[in-house]
Amino acid sequence: MSKKKRASKPEPEKEADYYKLKTQAVKDLVEANESNSPQVSKAELNKYRSKGRINLAQWVKFALIKVWFAGAVCFFFLWGLGGYMADLLDTLFITGIALGIVTDLLTNNVLRFFEKKKGEADSWMMITKKGYISFPLNILYAFVVLLAVFMFYSGVNLGISSITGNADKVYLGVEPVLFGLFCMGFDLLFIRIKLFILGLFNKKGSDAREVSR
């Protein structure tokens, strides 16, 4: 039996070039950013995206994410604590804090994860800044959304009670799916109002700069 030939040892010059190329590749990877990275077409990027059997529109994905997380807060806090806490205000207070924390840590981050381009999910978030300041702001904003949803539930039940004459019956009860839909609805309404106001200020600013020229 012939002995296997041992792999020839690379020459010193070739070995140095080999490690030089490897070092340069690592350096290029570490220093990569938007300014020095090559442009990649959208068609090329889509080749590496996972494709499921159900192809949902982007806005449908964002809407389902917001509804699901708000519904989960309703399930675990409004339903979960409802039987243990006698005071409704205490339950709403804890639910508002939980909704703000979930929005800051989970909902907004999941929305950013499903972005196809940077900043695409900003129009679905009231607080677009990331960092320590977003945490208390999202909690405060969650109380605004929760108050609007609570007033909507109360208004619907009060209106139906005034028509039927039965004030003791609750016609529209709180449950996760509707709660999530109502939270998303008021959330998007407030976001559109914010974008409208910012648009007015930006327009006035641009008009003022045009006049000053």
Nearest of 153, 116, 141 to residue 194 by alpha carbon: 141
pLDDT at position 179: 98
pLDDT at position 201: 84
Report the C-alpha gap between 159 and 119 in whole angstroms: 41
SS3 assignment for 90-116: HHHHHHHHHHHHHHHHHHHHHHHHCCC
pLDDT at position 167: 82
Query: How far is C-alpha 163 from the chain's CA centre?
Result: 40
Q: Contact, 157 vs 172, CB < 8 A?
A: yes
Which amino acid would we find at residue 59?
W
33-39's contacts with Cβ under 8 Å and 24+ in sequence apart are: none
Report the C-alpha gap between 60 and 57 in whole angstroms: 5
Report the C-alpha gap between 108 and 77 in whole angstroms: 20
Report the C-alpha gap between 95 and 98 in whole angstroms: 5
pTM listed for this prediction: 0.73
Report the C-alpha gap between 154 and 207 in whole angstroms: 44
Give pLDDT tens digits along the chain (213 positions): 444 445 555 555 555 555 555 566 666 655 666 666 666 666 665 655 555 567 889 999 999 999 999 999 999 999 988 777 878 899 999 999 999 999 999 999 999 999 989 999 999 999 999 889 999 999 999 999 999 999 999 999 999 999 988 888 889 999 999 999 999 999 999 999 999 999 998 876 666 666 666
Report the C-alpha gap between 100 and 108 in whole angstroms: 11
